[in-house]
Structure 1
Amino acid sequence: MLSEPLRYELYGLRHGNPYRIEPLDPLARAGDRALLVDIDGFVSTEALRAYLRESVAAGESAFVVVSGRDYTGRTTIANHVLDVYREVSELDDRLLVSRIKVGHNRDFEWVKEAMVELQNEIEEADLTLSPALTESLNTIEGIDEGVYQSRYRGLARRLHGELAGQARGRCSFGVVFEGLRQTSLVDAMRKVFKSSRSIAVFTHGDYKHANTPSYEELSRLDVHLIKLEPLKGEQVRCLAEERWRAASALPSPFPPDSLETAWPAPTPIKSVVKTLSLLLDIRLGSAADHGPWPDNTELEIPHRFMFFMIRMLNELGAS
C-alpha cells in the first residue's frame, strides 16, 4: 500500500520541501534562485559580483575556483557563480554551459571534452552559426595536443563573436569543471578562453594529502577563489529561516534559538539541509491532520523534538 503524499501546503509550501538536498541550479530552475541564501561568512556574493563586473567591463573572461570539503555545497555555489555571471552580463537565460567531471590529470582531454560539450549545447539551443565556424568546430576532436590551446583559443574567440550577434539576443558560454586535480587545467583554460569573454568555474576538494592542489596553491592563481567552510550555529539559523521565508508566507515551525544550539559544532551545509528536510517531513508525516500551520500546533517542531530526532538520525547515520 502506497503512503499518502506529504501535504506541504499545510505549511504554506507550494513547491514542496524547501530543504532539498540536491544541488540548486537557478539556470535550470528559476525557483532555485530564491533558495540561494546569502549567509554571512559563507560566500560573499558582493565580492563575487564585483569581480565578475570588473571582468565583464574589461572585456575579459572570468575564472572562479570553488574550494571546500565534501557536503560544503561546491556544486550549488558553482551554479550560483554562473547565475551571477549571467545577471552581470545581462544575458537573461542565454548562457550556454558545458559541465565536465574531471577524472584524471590529462588537461588536453578535459578541455577537448568541454569544447565538444559546448558545441552540443549550441546545437540543442538551435542557435545559428556560420558554415565556416560550424566546419571548424567539427574539427575539434581531431586537433593535435601540441597545438590545442592556440587552436581552441581561436575557436572560442570566433564563437564569442557569433553568439554575441544572435538574432534572438546576445548569448555567451561557460564551462564548469567538477573536481579540479591540478592547477595546470586552470592555466590551460586561461589560454583557451583568453579572448572569448566567457567564464570557467572549477570545483576543488580541499583535502590535505589528497591528489589535488592545496588551497595555498590555488591562492597563487589569478582567479576569484571561494573557500567554503562548515556552518556555525548562527549560520544554520540564517539558512533555515531565509529558505523558509523564500518558500512560505507562514512563520517557520523551527524555534530560532534551537536552530543555533542544535548544531553545536560546525557542520557542512548539505548535512544541515538534509537534517532540516528530514525533520520537516517527519513532523508533517506524524502530526494529526487538524488543519494548516500555525493554527494546527501539532505541526510545530519544538526544541525537544528537534534534539531527540537529530540525535536519533545521527545514530542511524541518516543525517
Structure 2
Amino acid sequence: MEVSDVRYELYGLMAGNPYTTRPLNSLEQELDRSLLLELEGFVRLPKLQEAIEAAVTRRGPALFLITGVGMSGRTSLANHLLYLYHQAHGPQHRLATHRMDGYDMTHDAYAQVRSTLLSLRNKMGLMTIEMPPGLRGRFSELSRRGSVDPMDEYDLQEIAEFLAATFAASDAAFGVVYEGVATKDLITLSTRVFENTPAVVVFTVDAYQHANAAQLTEADRSDFARRGTIIDLPLLTTRQIACLAEQRWTGTPPVPFDPDDLQAVFDSRRFTIGQALRHLEVLLDLRLVEYEGEDLWPTDDLRMSSRWLRIKMWQGERWSRLR
C-alpha cells in the first residue's frame, strides 16, 4: 500500500501524518517553527532565546554546543537556533549560513575553519555585499595558506571580525553549524576565532564514543560553558512521549492515543524524540490500514486501545530482529 492510499482524512488529517520523522528547518519553513516542542523540559526554548538576545544586544557571539545520540533532535534544534538568531535581529535582517555535516567532518580543524570563512566570503557575493579592499586582501592570503602553512588563529579571528562588520554594514549577519563534530580541536579553534564576532555558531556532537565523534571531558564542557550554552538532548520520558503525541496532533480532537495507555506501552525502554515519532507515525498508519469502515474519528473503531498498542509494539520488535 502506498502512503497516498492511507486515509488520513478519517482522522481529519488534511496534511497527512503529523508524526512524520524528518529534521525541522525553522529558518526556511514557517510551518516547522511550531513543531519544535519543549515537551516538559526536553528543551527550554525561552532560555535559548534569552541567550541569543543577550548575544545580539552585546554584539558578541552566540555559541551553542548540542549533544545527543542519533535521532535526538540535534539538527532540528540547530536550525531553530539559526531562526531565533535571525528573528532577534528583526524581519528585514538577512542571515547568511554555512553548514558542515558529518560527511564533511575531518580531524583537520584549521582546514574546516578556513573553509568556513571562505564559504562566507562567497555568500557575500551572492548577497551583493561589497567586499572592502582590506578584507579582500586578507581572503587572498587565506586562500593561499592551507594546512601546510596555516595562518595564526588570531589572524583568523581578525578576518572573522572584519567579515562580520562588513555583513553588519549591509544589515546582515552570519551563522555557522558544525554537525557531528569529529574533533574537539574544531570547537576549540572555532570558539577562539569567533570569540569577538557577532554571529551564531552551533556545534553538534554525538553523545557516545566512536572514532568520528569528539570526545569531550568535563573540563572541556566547563570551558565551553564559560563562553556559550550547552544543550544535552536526553531520551524522552514516557510522559514526554505522551505530550509529543498530543502536541503534534493536527487532526480532529481528541488525540486517538490515550496518554495513560501510551505511557504504559512505552515504559519498557527509553526512546529518542526521533524514535518516538517514528513509532507514533507507524502506529497511526497501521490503525488506518487495518480499519475498513467509513465512520470518521472519533469512532471507537479508530481508537488505539492499550491492548492494540501493546500487540503492535511487540510485533514491531519481533520484526526488527529479523533484519
TM range (shorter): 0.7 to 0.9
Shift of 1:42: 1.4
How far apart, CA to CA, are the structure 1 residues paired with 2:251 and 2:95? 30
Residue 171 of structure 1 aligns with which residue? 172
CA RMSD in angstroms comes to 2.7
Residue 232 of structure 1 aligns with which residue? 237
Structure 1: which 5+ runs fail to align?
A: none
Partner-residue secondary structure (3-state), 2:248: helix
How far apart, CA to CA, are the structure 2 residues paired with 1:108 and 1:98? 16
Of 86-95 and 191-200, the range deviating more from structure 2? 86-95
Indicate conservation of the 8 Å contact 2:142/2:151, yes or no: no
How far apart, CA to CA, are the structure 1 residues paired with 2:62 and 2:175? 9
Residue 301 of structure 2 aligns with which residue? 298
Residue 279 of structure 1 aligns with which residue? 283
Residue 103 of structure 1 aligns with which residue? 105
Indicate conservation of the 8 Å contact 1:62/1:197, yes or no: yes
How far apart, CA to CA, are the structure 1 residues paired with 2:168 and 2:97? 15
Shift of 1:199: 1.0
Residue 261 of structure 1 aligns with which residue? 264
Structure 2: which 5+ runs fail to align?
A: none
Shift of 1:13: 2.5
Give 1:62-77 correspondences, 5 Å limit: 62-77=62-77
Aligned match of 1:308 in 307, 311, 321? 311
Shift of 1:225: 0.4
Of 130-139 and 200-209, the range deviating more from structure 2? 130-139
Q: Deviations over 1:22-61 (max 9, x none)?
A: 1111112111111111112311112222222222211111
Equivalent pairs counted in the alignment come to: 312
How far apart, CA to CA, are the structure 2 residues paired with 1:10 and 1:165? 53
Pair 18,103 (structure 1): closer, same or farther in 2 beyond 3 Å: same
Residue 212 of structure 1 aligns with which residue? 214
> What is the one-letter code of the residue matched to 1:5?
D
Indicate conservation of the 8 Å contact 1:100/1:113, yes or no: no
Q: Deviations over 1:189-221 (max 9, x none)?
A: 123223330011000111257652235232332
TM-score after normalising by structure 2: 0.86
How far apart, CA to CA, are the structure 2 residues paired with 1:92 and 1:284? 44
Shift of 1:121: 4.0
Matched, 1:89 2:69: no
Indicate conservation of the 8 Å contact 1:208/1:214, yes or no: no
How far apart, CA to CA, are the structure 2 residues paired with 1:279 and 1:189? 43
Pair 6,110 (structure 1): closer, same or farther in 2 beyond 3 Å: same
Residue 142 of structure 1 aligns with which residue? 144
Indicate conservation of the 8 Å contact 2:99/2:178, yes or no: yes
Pair 2,200 (structure 1): closer, same or farther in 2 beyond 3 Å: closer
Partner-residue secondary structure (3-state), 1:262: helix
Residue 38 of structure 1 aligns with which residue? 38
Matched, 1:198 2:203: no
How far apart, CA to CA, are the structure 2 residues paired with 1:182 and 1:99? 16
Partner-residue secondary structure (3-state), 2:174: strand
